[in-house]
A and B are shown apart, each in its own frame.
Chain A
Amino acid sequence: NAGVTQTPKFRVLKTGQSMTLLCAQDMNHEYMYWYRQDPGMGLRLIHYSVGEGTTAKGEVPDGYNVSRLKKQNFLLGLESAAPSQTSVYFCASSYLAEAKNIQYFGAGTRLSVL
């Protein structure tokens, strides 16, 4: 019962370093999402994908890139990390049921940028 798996769970970066967060889902969902969650801000959408090979910008896309080469995987890249990107990152995947978007989340990645 893996569901949505995020790797890594924790990471510390120095300013200017790059990294990729991996999200994998085994539920055959079409839609996948990357959010960041900061205190007092709630979940904010970074990028999302409505199918393999497609991506779209969310509310806070600057400083991030994504790729969805395979249906089950959604990668989030930080090319040059900044302290403002210190956050908890959640990936989600979803299907539509009766026109409702039901999202399932991974356990999160805690990222600190020094």
Chain B
Amino acid sequence: RKEVEQDPGPFNVPEGATVAFNCTYSNSASQSFFWYRQDCRKEPKLLMSVYSSGNEDGRFTAQLNRASQYISLLIRDSKLSDSATYLCVVGTYNTDKLIFGTGTRLQVFP
């Protein structure tokens, strides 16, 4: 079983739609959680950290469920520029390393 699992997609949604991605992780001792964004043929970039109480950054909302060991990302009012691959990332207990999911691809169409 992979340490971090994501639905690879693609998710094809129209502009203005709301879309949600989920991710599960296997190590219950994981301490930190993130969503990164990766555009085609570019490097990953931090989108947002995920806090236990849930957090919002504009149109993006991240949630963490430690009991069920899953993380979610909700994107409201999707824009064409949101088209990218979204990587679920989990930090190891000693914080030295990050474990990356294989990513969920989002395509927003006009």
Contact = CB atoms under 8 A, between A and B. Distances in A.
Interface of A: 31, 33, 35, 40-43, 45, 48, 50, 56, 58, 90, 96, 99-108
The main secondary structure of chain A at its interface with chain B is strand
Nearest to A104: B46
Contact of B96 (A41, A48, A100, A108): A48
A53 to B, nearest CB: 16
Closest 8 CB pairs of A and B: A42-B102, A105-B43, A43-B100, A100-B32, A101-B95, A42-B100, A101-B91, A105-B44
A48 B95 contact: no
5 contacts: A58-B97, A99-B31, A99-B95, A105-B44, A107-B42
B57 to A, nearest CB: 15
Contact of A101 (B42, B45, B96): B96
B32 to A, nearest CB: 4
Contact of A43 (B32, B42, B44, B95): B44
Interface residues of B, number: 20
A96 B96 CA distance: 9
Nearest to B49: A100
Contacts of A96: 95
Contact of B97 (A48, A102, A104, A106): A48
A45 B97 contact: yes
B97 A101 contact: yes
